[in-house]
Amino acid sequence: MLDISLTDLQHALQNTQRSELRHEGNELVNTSTPDAGAAAPAIAAERVARLADVRLDWRHKAVPATANGTTHRDFLADGPTLGDFQTPLLTLDSAAMRSNADHLAGWCAEHNVLLAPHGKTTMAPQLWAEQLDRGAWGITVANFAQLRVAREFGVRRLQLANSLTDPHAIDWVASVIGPEQTILSWVDSTGTVEVLNRTLEASGSGAVLDVLVELGGLGGRTGARGVDAALEVARAVAVSPHLRLAGVSGYEGSLAHTADVEALGAVRGYLGQMRQLHEQLLADGLYGADQIILTAGGSAYFDDVVDVLSPCISSAVQLMIRSGAYIIHDDGFYRGISPFSRHGSQPFRAGMHGWARVVSQPEPGLAILDAGKRDLPVDEGLPRPQLIGPALGGAMVPLEGAEITAVNDQHCFMTFDAGTSTVRPGDVVRLGLSHPCTAFDKWTLIPVLADADGNQAVVDLVHTFF
């Protein structure tokens, strides 16, 4: 039986037809459906499940020596606990991650915004699947290598939060987009548009890439500097036979790093310019795609993104945030800046911890731990000692007043009050961490505890692909 819906036919046409948009009253209305493969699964669950077949060995530094050669599945079937592992170690907290994922998914639904979590935070398809299961639109990635990982795990909708300027990457994207694979990318200059045009023309594939024009800000990272410059890029896209303008993108997180009045003013001013750009593109009829996407928003200012840009939402215009760090959250930078911390609503929970052992206690009040910058993130604040105990997986007590003062490749320096705390070689310290993005990349496999503050059963192992 031929089972082709109207939507499927529209998908099949997506690379050959330019979509039509028309105004009905104040509403912009779709006349075609560009989104590839709405009927296909958001991620290939069976490929994610196959990670349980991976054989654990010395290549994964988190794996206990006694587990060498067993599969992920068999290892978990034996009911491991934190005490079966060694230090240094990074662990995840299942209860916290689940709560964070539910919390933002619910918030997005309530505010009528799409979530395309930035996948570069974890590069863990198992966690991407959790996000997609909760209704995420798709996964955002930062570069070609990450696109390939996501494609390998069958992520149907992808957004490259960057410009494609490498001809190999452009050819690859042109070759994989289709009815079951959406890939959006960004353009921020007419030079980028030229590279895309030239490469796509030479390939002769006939592919039409969906691109978003990226607005930047002075002192920021990528992005056309100012609305006029972005409009010029949009005009270059509009006349390209190889590109279709599908929206406006930006990243407010590269313009601010705090939540003081000045920083929030800069963020909101920039978002206002994104809105102005979008309205001008509509007025000038420069959009080529049927579904328009406005996208901004990491984990620090997504409330402002939604506040400033949600008036643009219509049946043809969707607002998409790209928070990535939120699912793991932390005990440092994100705990301080998250809108859910700042506004006193239910805060996200720290979903990762470091565990390090005292290898030396060479001077009064100084301990050297066996975790360094190869193991734990340090770029957004040093780890913070939280608890201490005689063994990993055993009872621990708060370690008040201790501080990590320096970090080497494989060690960290912990000062403590020798008058009130006892710290001996072999003791284990639990560390609160800052910045999930630079924690995950240090581990190929991360054990997941049921609850870092309670049941320390290891309920899963998360594989990363950096």
Write out the residues near ligand PLP by the rule CB under 6 A: 118, 121, 161, 251, 253, 298-300, 322-326, 437
Residue 161 has, within 13 A of its CA and on its CB side, a CA count of: 28
Q: How far is the CB of 89 from ligand PLP (least distance, A)?
A: 23
Q: In this complex, which beta carbon is closest to ligand PLP, that of residue 51 or of residue 215?
A: 215
Q: How far is the CB of 264 from ligand PLP (least distance, A)?
A: 15
Task: Give the residue at shortest CB distance from ligand PLP.
Answer: 298
Task: Select from 140, 155, 120, 180 the least CA-distant residue to 44.
Answer: 155
Q: In this complex, which beta carbon is closest to ligand PLP, that of residue 135 or of residue 454?
A: 135
Residue 464: count of CB within 10 angstroms of its CB: 18
* Type of residue found at 311: P
Q: In this complex, which beta carbon is closest to ligand PLP, that of residue 298 or of residue 447?
A: 298
Residue 181: count of CB within 10 angstroms of its CB: 18
Q: In this complex, which beta carbon is closest to ligand PLP, that of residue 72 or of residue 435?
A: 435
Q: How far is the CB of 300 from ligand PLP (least distance, A)?
A: 5
Give the gyration radius of the chain's Cα atoms: 24
Q: How far is the CB of 15 from ligand PLP (least distance, A)?
A: 26
Q: In this complex, which beta carbon is closest to ligand PLP, that of residue 62 or of residue 141?
A: 141
Q: How far is the CB of 216 from ligand PLP (least distance, A)?
A: 11
Q: In this complex, which beta carbon is closest to ligand PLP, that of residue 251 or of residue 340?
A: 251
Q: How far is the CB of 435 from ligand PLP (least distance, A)?
A: 9
> To 10 degrees, what angle do helices 227-238 and 261-283 make?
30
